[in-house]
Amino acid sequence: MRTIFLKDIKLTRKSLLIWLTVMFITAGMAVLEYPMIAKEADTLVSTLGTLPRIVRILFGVEGLNFQQSTDFYITMYFWYCLVVFTHAVYVGATIIAREERDRTAEYIFSKSYKRSEIVTAKILVGIFHVAVMALATWVVNVVLLLPLLEGESILGIINITTLGMFVTQLVFFGIGLFCTAVFKIYRLGLSTAMMVLLGSFVAAVTIEYLGNVAYLNFLTPFRYFPAMQVVSEGISLIYLLISAAIAGGTIYLTYRSYNKRDLLT
């Protein structure tokens, strides 16, 4: 299993570097924009006030006045989540199914490893990728944004929101795994996983727009640990348990599916 893990880490390192680059570019844009936003906060708030509420929600600025450094971080957290959640779904949907896509399933699954060991190794590779993205996001915030945002006052906020983000990444990772475990055709599994991600985002925007249906938050992982709520109330134990149930359940079903299915070779 260790051999499979290390081999897959090597084979997928370029993909991880591409996603990390996207994250660094996102953070770099924030670093460049913050001085202007801090200087023209009143003008920015006035401009945002003229936009339809749905637009403010879509851009992650609803309810923010940018009078505090945390408001800017909350906005950037919104964009970070879009990147890392998409990455998590993609990794989940491709980490095992890639063997069938590349027609190498017969080779690897005919080795002297149990099928469950191969699936375990690949899931661990996927979790490694997700963890690296979360850690990179944290490092970028601490190294680049923290000095701009008056540092120590929001370090705790960065820590707790990153934790919530990582848990949600695992949820989307599990969803990606499950989708390609259910569908034997690689592209169908990947597209289904991406549609689930898009549907989750649309549901989150709708719930935020309606404003009085917070009891529906369980329908979308985007609403499990929203930054504003985490900052004010901390990590929700209920949604932490829901996240663990979804991630654990989808991984378990992935094992069952791959142990029973006929692989495409």
pLDDT in tens, 164-184: 999 999 999 999 999 988 887
Q: What is the rounded average pLDDT for all residues in the chain?
A: 86
Q: Please give the share of the chain, as a percent, with pLDDT higher than 70.
A: 90
Q: Tell me which of 16 and 64 has the higher pLDDT.
A: 16
CB 181 within 8 A of CB 258: yes
Render pLDDT for 58-76 as a digit per residue (tens, 0 to 9).
Answer: 988 888 887 777 888 888 8
Domain ranges within the chain, ordered by starting residue: 2-260
How far, in Å, CA of 41 to CA of 79, rounded?
19
pLDDT value at residue 220: 96
**What does the alpha-carbon distance between residue 177 and residue 89 come to, in Å, rounded to a whole number?**
8
Lowest mean pLDDT among 13-22, 30-39, 163-172, 244-253: 30-39
**Predicted local confidence at residue 212, as pLDDT:** 84
Q: How far apart are CA 30 and CA 151, in angstroms?
A: 15
Higher per-residue pLDDT: 148 or 108 = 148
Joined together, the tokens standing for residue 123 give 């899931």
Of residues 16 and 97, which shows the higher confidence score? Answer: 16
pTM for this prediction: 0.91
